[in-house]
Chain A
Amino acid sequence: MKFGVVVFPGTWSDCDFHHVVSEVLHQPVKYVWHREHDLGDVDCVILPGGFSYGDYLRAGAVAGRSPVVEAIREFAAKGGLVLGSCNGFQILCEAGLLPGALLRNECLQYRCQSTHLVVDNVETPFTRGLRPGQVLTMPISHGEGKYHTDAETLAQLRARHQIVFRYATAAGQVTRAANPNGSLENIAGVVNESGTVLGLMPHPERAAEAVVGGTDGLLLFQSLLGSLVEDGTFLKR
């Protein structure tokens, strides 16, 4: 599976995703510069964490309107896989590729900590290797990760099983205490309607090697790798 890692000015998880894809998964990977209009030959494009354009306006607001995002929009419309983590999730929401918005953490402080995620939807290319209710451990690192949307959209997200990850206790219970940023319904990650665009605030690339933060993040990549069919389409189940 061929990966592209998008680099905006201010992106900083680009090298980390590149490392995991090339050194841990041993898959081909290239960087995609923010000014590019064509993603080239890739199966999955990753929008990494960081502070694109400094996030001085709103997190992801400027990047969400950059040339490469138009290319990603076309890529996603054709069924290409898009994974946005942290700032990447914020950018996907700003670009309208995912519903909702990410607001300032309820505690008004930056939070870098380990979190537990319970898996709600295992019928996406990113999660098909997981069990419903499985609990993953992955770190977060953000100041604006409080997921928010209106009641109507929330109802749709529920009805269409677009909520993929929710912050939970180690036992998988979705509680207020397990919510690190005040996200609506503890939402940590959502997909688009077709399940091909995933955004999540936690960092799977920081949980992809046993020596640094465990291997639960790797499960997402392994699901992805298994989903690719010879004709270039992806399995969801």
Chain B
Amino acid sequence: MSVAEPKVTLDLARGLGLTADEYDRILRQLGREPTYTELGLFSALWSEHCAYKHSRVFLKRLPTTGARVLQGPGENAGALDIGDGWAVVFKMESHNHPSYIEPFQGAATGVGGILRDIFTMGARPIAILDSLRFGDPADAKTRHLVNGVVSGISWYGNCFGCPTVGGEIQFAPEYGGNPLVNVMCVGLVRADRIFRGRAEGIGNPVFYVGNKTGRDGIHGATMASATFDDTAHEQRPTVQVGDPFTEKLLLEACLEAMATGAVLGIQDMGAAGLACCTSEMPARSGTGMEVEISAVPQREEGMTPYELLLSESQERMLLVAAPGREDEVRRVFAKWELDAVKIGTVIRDTQLVVRHRGTEVARVPIEALADGPRYEKPTVEPPELAKRRAFDPLSLPDTPDATRELLALCAAPNIASKEWAYRQYDQQVGINTLVVPGSDAAVLRVKGTRRALAISTDGNGRQVFIDPRRGAAMAVCEAARNVSCAGAQPLGVTDCLNFGSPERPDILWQFSEAIDGITDACRALDLPVVGGNVSFYNETSGQAILPTPVIGVVGLLDDATRFATQWFKGHGHRIALLGPDDVSLGASEYLWTRHGTMAGALAPLDLGVERRVQGAVRAAVAAGLVATAHDCADGGLAVALAESCVTGPGRIGADVALAASARKDLALFGEGPSRVIVSVEPSRAREFEALMAESAIPWRWIGTTGGERLVIRLGGDVAVSAELEAIDDAWRSGFERHVA
């Protein structure tokens, strides 16, 4: 080694992010002082990112089981049985911090990381969805971030060859210092061929496969090294650099190697790199592992054991092979021109033993590494929140011109078309995409079956901020409702929980409440949470982001030929509104766009009604009664109607009559859960009415499709009368104007 290792002290441990208590815990568990390399292992594996120190006690509340669950949380991704011998594998992860430092590579490697989580399970990725949050769209910095993130996603996903089929892009000033880049990936695998990150069979060979290791992404190492050796090359940025081409080769090589039967267990080297794989894999199997770290393929010279263990170089996997079948593994990876090097062995002794050119540099009990500290820190509701919730939006004046208001909302960056981003993403490779981005949910067929998957992500930070429990429950409901609007039965959830610092009682309260809200909704809708990710510390200079649990829902359509989309299909169809009347302007898009305010109570959420409304929509789609179904979300009923008019291949107007209302703004733009608009051909109206009666939900006819305008009457008076072309122009230009 060229650089002498620093002396291990409490100060050094602190510099690596460990507390004094945690350092004491290490001393106790080892019965001695750790070596520098060992301290590096602990600092990485006991980090919040790997150990879920502050969140684990809360995450235990989430429902994670169900008849279809083949794999719940704890593996690289969750898996659900979808019939015909197939399983869907999916997960969402964040790459927020790197994307702020370097938006292009940060977002690109976010895509790369979640793709590996899927194919390490043996599944071929078939879809990517991105849930993005940025600051004020008028800010030049936001434009830079949006362009960088979108082009990074485009570059990685397109080159790799997985279609990007959905997601959301939302703006709020609170994300200015901490944009969110959450990426969800969905893959398919034969249900009996799911691979797991396990290290089984004493004596079995451990292989390093994929890209070579460099000094990129060594978080702790770069921070710490500055204290003892201030040379420039050690100050390298902590953001990893992606190589989507190598990732594509790694995908094909891994799936081919798995098909030989020579692979027993496999795990992606993501956060904390080799350190994480070499401890988590044996931890799951009750074994140990010994590795010769100098055998790791390297692209830089003189890397220390510490650096090799903690590097987060991309496009790498660790796999355990069947004994005697090493050459089969080597042959497959050689075909794809990738390294596959035996670096170690599974051992009986439950220790991680790391040697460097034969010299032992670490010997740590696996249990100590894998079972990090857990905290149950205090939670306190921020005192000013009740006051904010008590604000009455109706104390503000009503809108004088609802037509102009509707056009302004259609052009609001949160609502306007995101085509500028989506046209930079390949949406069809794999030829499974039945519904491309632009409807409530993406729909992809499952080749070789009659089935299809519907997928959606959702998470409204403003609503969660105002009322974390109800807001988070609403996010689950909305993502599931989007899937139901396509006609699919929601099967399961992955969640990406983005919050500020958990060391702040007010933030941890938001987190705890949000977990309870997700739990409430998942239980009511029979949705297991099978995987996800927690991203804390999303704050800059004491300013935390809006609490943003992003919910990804995967649903199943039994008949791939029968699904609904959000746009009207023909003239003269009847329009119905399903769901309750209760809406609110509290924390609504209208209140923000029109009045610049984020306050007021959310509309009530009745989970029983939610469940029945979703069931009714699915039944109507399955019966062939409904080909248009659209969730009423941001901007309320008026915006939902406008979207149904202009987002399809051809524009179709509507004439809608609602009950008289004392407040136009509330009636038109008020937001509330469990509300869906559908359109029905007149000849099927009676069948539809019978079906709704059976469903026991509130619903009513509200109008008819057709014409060149969207007209909305309140108690007979025309409140909105907008040309479709004007709506279309507003909706198509609103986003691009800010970011292009």
> Using a CB–CB distance below 8 Å, which chain A residues touch chain B?
9-10, 12-13, 15-16, 19-20, 49-51, 53-56, 109-113, 139, 141, 143, 203, 205-206, 208-209, 211-213
Q: Which residues of B contact A112 (CB under 8 A)?
A: 158, 422-428
User: Contact between B245 and A10 (Cβ–Cβ < 8 Å)?
Assistant: yes
Could you list 26 A-B pairs, sorted by A, with CB under 8 Å? A9-B248, A9-B249, A10-B248, A12-B248, A16-B429, A16-B430, A19-B431, A49-B429, A51-B161, A55-B245, A56-B245, A109-B151, A109-B423, A111-B423, A112-B425, A112-B427, A113-B423, A141-B158, A141-B428, A141-B429, A143-B158, A205-B431, A206-B428, A209-B431, A212-B432, A212-B434
The closest CB in chain A to the CB of B338 belongs to: A9
Q: Which residues of A contact B426 (CB under 8 A)?
A: 110, 112, 141
User: Contact between A19 and B428 (Cβ–Cβ < 8 Å)?
Assistant: no
User: Contact between A212 and B425 (Cβ–Cβ < 8 Å)?
Assistant: no
> B381 near A: Cβ within 8 Å?
no
> B540 near A: Cβ within 8 Å?
no
- A118 CB, min distance to chain B CBs, angstroms: 20
Which 8 A-B residue pairs are closest in the complex by CB-CB distance?
A54-B245, A12-B161, A51-B159, A141-B426, A110-B424, A16-B431, A112-B426, A110-B154
Q: Which residues of B contact A13 (CB under 8 A)?
A: 429
Interchain CB contact (< 8 A) of A212 among B161, B336, B431? B431
> B24 near A: Cβ within 8 Å?
no
Q: B553-567 vs A: 1/0 string, CB under 8 Å?
A: 000000011000000
User: Contact between A110 and B430 (Cβ–Cβ < 8 Å)?
Assistant: no
User: Contact between B433 and A9 (Cβ–Cβ < 8 Å)?
Assistant: no
Interchain CB contact (< 8 A) of A55 among B151, B159, B246, B425? B159
Q: Which residues of A contact B161 (CB under 8 A)?
A: 12, 50-51
User: Contact between A9 and B245 (Cβ–Cβ < 8 Å)?
Assistant: yes
Cα distance, A55 to B425, chains bound together (Å): 17
The closest CB in chain A to the CB of B447 belongs to: A19
Cα distance, A143 to B428, chains bound together (Å): 15
> B503 near A: Cβ within 8 Å?
no
For residues 425 through 462 of chain B, which have their beta carbon under 8 Å from a beta carbon of chain A? 425-434, 445, 447
Cα distance, A50 to B426, chains bound together (Å): 11
Cα distance, A49 to B159, chains bound together (Å): 10
Q: Which residues of A contact B430 (CB under 8 A)?
A: 15-16
> B671 near A: Cβ within 8 Å?
no
- B585 CB, min distance to chain A CBs, angstroms: 37
The closest CB in chain B to the CB of A141 belongs to: B426
Q: Which residues of A contact B428 (CB under 8 A)?
A: 112, 139, 141, 203, 206, 212-213
> Using a CB–CB distance below 8 Å, which chain B residues touch chain A?
151, 154-155, 158-161, 243-246, 248-249, 336-337, 422-434, 445, 447, 560-561
Question: Given the known A-B contacts A55-B159, A112-B428, are A211 and B445 also in contact in the complex, defined by CB atoms under 8 Å?
Answer: yes
User: Contact between B429 and A12 (Cβ–Cβ < 8 Å)?
Assistant: yes
Cα distance, A215 to B161, chains bound together (Å): 22
Cα distance, A206 to B422, chains bound together (Å): 17
Cα distance, A53 to B336, chains bound together (Å): 11
User: Contact between B424 and A111 (Cβ–Cβ < 8 Å)?
Assistant: yes
User: Contact between A206 and B431 (Cβ–Cβ < 8 Å)?
Assistant: yes
- A59 CB, min distance to chain B CBs, angstroms: 11
Interface centre among A113, A205, A208, A212 (most CB of B within 10 A): A212
The closest CB in chain B to the CB of A208 belongs to: B431
- B723 CB, min distance to chain A CBs, angstroms: 22
- B243 CB, min distance to chain A CBs, angstroms: 7
Question: Given the known A-B contacts A112-B424, A209-B431, A212-B434, are A10 and B159 also in contact in the complex, defined by CB atoms under 8 Å?
Answer: yes
The closest CB in chain B to the CB of A212 belongs to: B431
Given contacts A12-B160, A112-B425, A211-B561, 7 further A-B contacts (CB under 8 A): A9-B248, A50-B161, A56-B245, A111-B423, A141-B426, A141-B429, A212-B432
- A23 CB, min distance to chain B CBs, angstroms: 8
Question: Given the known A-B contacts A110-B424, A112-B423, A211-B560, are A53 and B245 also in contact in the complex, defined by CB atoms under 8 Å?
Answer: yes
Cα distance, A55 to B246, chains bound together (Å): 12
Interface centre among A54, A112, A205 (most CB of B within 10 A): A112
Q: Which residues of A contact B445 (CB under 8 A)?
A: 211-212
Interface centre among B155, B246, B431, B434 (most CB of A within 10 A): B431
Interface centre among A19, A53, A141, A143 (most CB of B within 10 A): A141
- B401 CB, min distance to chain A CBs, angstroms: 33
The closest CB in chain A to the CB of B427 belongs to: A112
- B88 CB, min distance to chain A CBs, angstroms: 18
Q: Which residues of B contact A212 (CB under 8 A)?
A: 428, 431-434, 445
User: Contact between B431 and A51 (Cβ–Cβ < 8 Å)?
Assistant: no
User: Contact between A9 and B336 (Cβ–Cβ < 8 Å)?
Assistant: yes
Cα distance, A54 to B427, chains bound together (Å): 19
The closest CB in chain B to the CB of A11 belongs to: B161
Interface centre among B158, B249, B432 (most CB of A within 10 A): B158
Q: Which residues of A contact B249 (CB under 8 A)?
A: 9-10
The closest CB in chain A to the CB of B448 belongs to: A23
Q: Which residues of B contact A139 (CB under 8 A)?
A: 428
- B319 CB, min distance to chain A CBs, angstroms: 20
The closest CB in chain B to the CB of A203 belongs to: B428
- A205 CB, min distance to chain B CBs, angstroms: 7
Cα distance, A9 to B248, chains bound together (Å): 8
The closest CB in chain B to the CB of A23 belongs to: B447
Interface centre among B248, B425, B433, B561 (most CB of A within 10 A): B248
Interchain CB contact (< 8 A) of A54 among B159, B434, B447? B159
